[in-house]
A and B are shown apart, each in its own frame.
Chain A
Amino acid sequence: MSFMQDLKSGVLTDNPVFMQTIGLCPTLATTTSLSNAIGMGVAATVVLVASNIVISALRKFIPDKVRIAAFITIIAAFVTIIDLSLQAFIPSLAASLGLFLPLIVVNCIILGRAEAYASKNKVLPSAIDGIVMGLGFTFALVLMGFVRELLGAGTIGAGIIGEKGIQLISQPAVMMILPAGGFLAMGFIFAALQKIMAGKEDK
């Protein structure tokens, strides 16, 4: 498969969140604003690519019986490096992602890709798999973050375009940035995407 096909598969037809429905916890929890969504997506993608590369390179060296323990150790090391680096260099992002940053360790997309792909394939394809899956995850987060920030806080891009972003709605529905709003946004986005995908297959 070419990179573009991989990309289409990771972002649309085999999107980890919308199609494989894995990694839903961070998707619900960190998408209260566009800037959080992008931060979480990029951080998870970096961890995913790095852990895929290392796990793929070590796949013949790691005994089958302790592979999960070895994978988690490698993933945890990368997550901690990202966590410390963000705290040191982008403290505002680290503060808003809070606990969810260390929790990337248990993001099942990362362990899932290590187990299902990187442990069985060569380094380069594993790196590409990490990139496309990471982009797919980021795409899902950005979509959720955009919708929830717009409806729940009434802004677009707070923390990206200036401190407050662009205020569009003066009386936002605060519920959308609360946990219940996360489920609502996710449900509607799932439904819309399923509809679009189904329409494509019919043709």
Chain B
Amino acid sequence: MSEKKNGGFGEIANLIVVLGLITLICALLLGAVNQVTAPKIAENQKATRDAAMAEIIPGAEFTDLETTVAGDKTTPAITGVYEATVGGETVGYCVEVTPSGFGGTLTMIVGINADGTVAGAKVNSHGETPGLGAKSQSDWINQYAGMPADGSLAVTKDGGTVTPITGATITSRAVTLGVNTAANYVASLG
């Protein structure tokens, strides 16, 4: 590359201007793309959540209670609470919790019935190992339906009744913790 200005202020100014211009153009481009995609991405996430909730408590209408609860070392954060109603009567709640699994955070929806049983659970996104922890998105998770929602669930290895995924105890514990956290929260609503 031929350099007319060798060293000194001129060269440094040139470097700054060129890099600054490239960065500015890239930033403007990204801003424009984000404008287009952001609403669509939010819509997709809402669609995934709605589909999960409709599967867990069928036939109900969901109202966003717009509540979140920050997590700590032992309890995962709650990122959304939805009240399920049929004909104006509360039949249960769907809670979005984010327990930590083997490969990062799992985002899951837990349904709790008004009668104090687990309606069901569904893992919406995860970073678990394919073939092992990723099975948390299979039929395996259906076993939670009908279990007591009193925050006492545990995998068989820990003396509980939940059959863990073979080779993915950490994931199974995370899902169980998610269900318990949701159950405790709904119990606290009274």
Contact = CB atoms under 8 A, between A and B. Distances in A.
Contacts of B30: 77, 80-81
Contacts, number: 73
A70 B14 contact: no
Interface in A26-76: 32-33, 58, 60-66, 69-70, 73-74, 76
Interface in B67-96: none
B80 to A, nearest CB: 18
Interface in A59-108: 60-66, 69-70, 73-74, 76-77, 80-81, 84-85, 87-89, 91, 95, 98-99
B48 A91 contact: yes
A73 B26 contact: yes
B159 interface: no
Given A74-B26, A152-B131, A88 B44 contact: yes
Interface size class of B (residues with CB under 8 A): 20 to 34
Given A61-B18, A73-B26, A89-B40, A98 B131 contact: no
Contact of B1 (A64, A77, A85, A87): A64
**Which 10 pairs of residues, A with B, have the shortest CB-CB distance?**
A88-B40, A77-B26, A88-B37, A84-B37, A64-B1, A91-B44, A174-B131, A32-B130, A87-B41, A177-B131
Interface of B: 1, 3, 11, 14-15, 18-19, 22-23, 26, 29-30, 33-34, 36-38, 40-41, 44, 48, 125, 127, 129-132, 167
Interface of A: 32-33, 58, 60-66, 69-70, 73-74, 76-77, 80-81, 84-85, 87-89, 91, 95, 98-99, 152-153, 174, 177-178
8 contacts: A32-B130, A58-B22, A61-B18, A62-B22, A69-B19, A70-B19, A84-B41, A88-B36
